[in-house]
Structure 1
Amino acid sequence: MRYEILGQLRVIDGSNSKTIRAQKVEILLAALVARSDQVVSTDQLIREIWGDDPPRSATAGLYVYISQIRKMLGHCGEETSPVLTRPPGYMLLTLGSDEIDLLDFKRLMREGRAHLRSGAYEAAMSSFEDALALCRGPFLTDGVPGPILKGLRTWLNEAQLECMESLIEARMALGYHRELVSDLYLLSTEHPLREAFHRQLMMALHRSECRGDALLVYQRARRTLREELGVEPGTALQDVQRAILMDEGR
């Protein structure tokens, strides 16, 4: 059995793949997958589904949704459902052969960081590419009300950006400067307050003998940071600008 929540939630058993159309059932299963092998209390699950203002029928509704999930997972080839009742709530029990894409993503990120620190840039690039490939689209659907999945969505957004930054760092260490310029222009535009993408774009342009363009990127980033946050660029961004200016003066 494989559970995938980095995109539309789906459960895969061999060649069979199941998705969930009912939003509340999808949220419930996603919360159990996110906390796999841990007990999630009934109160927590109700809050995940209905937020801070659940209906009076919330407990009864939760029982119905648990039953639907158990039935669905049973149809995926399990003789007994992996969703167990464990006071004060429920847990998704994963067995030795079960897989969760979220755990794969975290493992690949750890491996990529270790490779990057050791200078194994090809291996780092492969790990980060594999991690990003697991992210199939937006996390679940709009309107996720509860803290477990809200927190996971916030973490995942940040982790994907970190993964992209690290992937670019590995690619730059391997000499792919020119190939990265267009992607970095896009990333720095989509995430104008994230200084790392501006810094990487400046370095890629500088190493591609486009020093003037690199300095214009700095000015654009500085203007954005001052207008949006009232701050100057950080030390890393300033250091890159200074290095480019010193190189031009030689």
Structure 2
Amino acid sequence: MRFGLLGPLTVHDGAGGARPLKSAKGQALLAALLLRANRVVPVDVLKEALWGEHAPASANASLYNHITRLRRTLGTDGDGRLSSVAPGYLLRVGAGELDSTEFTAAVRRAREAYVRADWAAVLEEAATASALWRGRPLDGLPAEVSDALDAQPFIQQLEEERLQLLEWRYDAELRLGRHGGLAPELCRLATEHPLREGFHRQLMLVLRRTGRQAEALAVFQELRRRLVDDLGVEPGAAVQEALQEVLREDEPLQEVLREEPEPAQGDAVEDTVERVTGGE
């Protein structure tokens, strides 16, 4: 079996065929079990996932019926996979069957490769992890179900792991001298994450190394403005080092930097996106 949490909830059998989850409560039940895969999920937690704080008097019987339907969805080994274990139910998930677990393992391997400066391995593990990512984890799950399952920390952790993985990937590309073609994606990421210094630093370096120093400086100035205005801090050491590369071998830019910037007339990073992508 293959279970998917990295995007809309999915189930596939061993032959790759999708097993449809026909009801919203069936999806909520499977999500609750997968978030605690290989652990017992108490009946009360499952009832809250399905009905919130207002479970009907028949909730226990209804839950049993939903468990039975889910076992059928899981196929011939459904009874063995999903069993009743006091005080609730346990869904057994094997190695390689849950995409979020595989994703986290690939991120861990990418981190280890990054520490030892094995840039080719970083790119390999980043590709493995990225292939598993289909969108926001548990996308489409109703907010009340997500709240009942306390799924937000799980979702936020995976989203942070993905952003960190992207930073490692682009650092590896830069270390290997592969900066051509990276600007559009880094522009998008810098725009979507205006306070994340890593993407701005990488965008500055890519623009500088492709002969676009003025645009690289504009990225720095916009990042600095946002950090100062929103957080009251200056860009960190890594961004400052990137700035020095931007300024190197181009003395006129030194004078531009000393000038007091005019009030912003729009987002400098978004303006750079327009130039990079041709307004598409």
Specify if TM > 0.5: yes
Q: Does structure 1 residue 46 correspond to structure 2 residue 13?
A: no
Structure 2 residue identity aligned to 1:55: A
CA–CA distance in 2 between the matches of 1:205 and 1:23? 47
Aligned to 2:34: 33
Q: Structure 1, residues 34-61: CA drift from partner, whole Å, max 9, x if none?
A: 221111222222333444x233344444
Q: Structure 1, residues 129-186: CA drift from partner, whole Å, max 9, x if none?
A: 1201101123221422224422221112111111111111111111121211111111
Task: Summarize the Cα distance change of 1:71–1:193 in structure 2 as closer, same or farther, 3 Å threshold.
Answer: same
RMSD: 2.3
Which sections of structure 1, spanning at least 5 residues, go unmatched?
A: none
Aligned to 2:105: 107
Higher mean C-alpha deviation, range 77-86 or range 160-169:
77-86
Aligned to 2:257: none
Tell me the secondary structure at the aligned position of residue 90 of structure 1.
strand
Task: Summarize the Cα distance change of 1:15–1:235 in structure 2 as closer, same or farther, 3 Å threshold.
Answer: closer
Deviation at 1:243, TM superposition (A): 4.2
Q: Does structure 1 residue 72 correspond to structure 2 residue 73?
A: yes
Give the length in aligned residue pairs: 246
Higher mean C-alpha deviation, range 109-118 or range 141-150:
141-150
CA–CA distance in 1 between the matches of 2:114 and 2:93? 31
Q: Structure 1, residues 24-80: CA drift from partner, whole Å, max 9, x if none?
A: 2212212212221111222222333444x2333444443332222112113xx3263
Aligned to 1:220: 222
Aligned to 1:168: 170
CA–CA distance in 2 between the matches of 1:47 and 1:228? 38
Task: Summarize the Cα distance change of 1:227–1:60 in structure 2 as closer, same or farther, 3 Å threshold.
Answer: farther
CA–CA distance in 2 between the matches of 1:211 and 1:65? 60
Structure 2 residue identity aligned to 1:84: S
CA–CA distance in 1 between the matches of 2:36 and 2:169? 28
TM-score by length of 2: 0.79
Q: Does structure 1 residue 120 correspond to structure 2 residue 118?
A: yes
Deviation at 1:18, TM superposition (A): 1.0
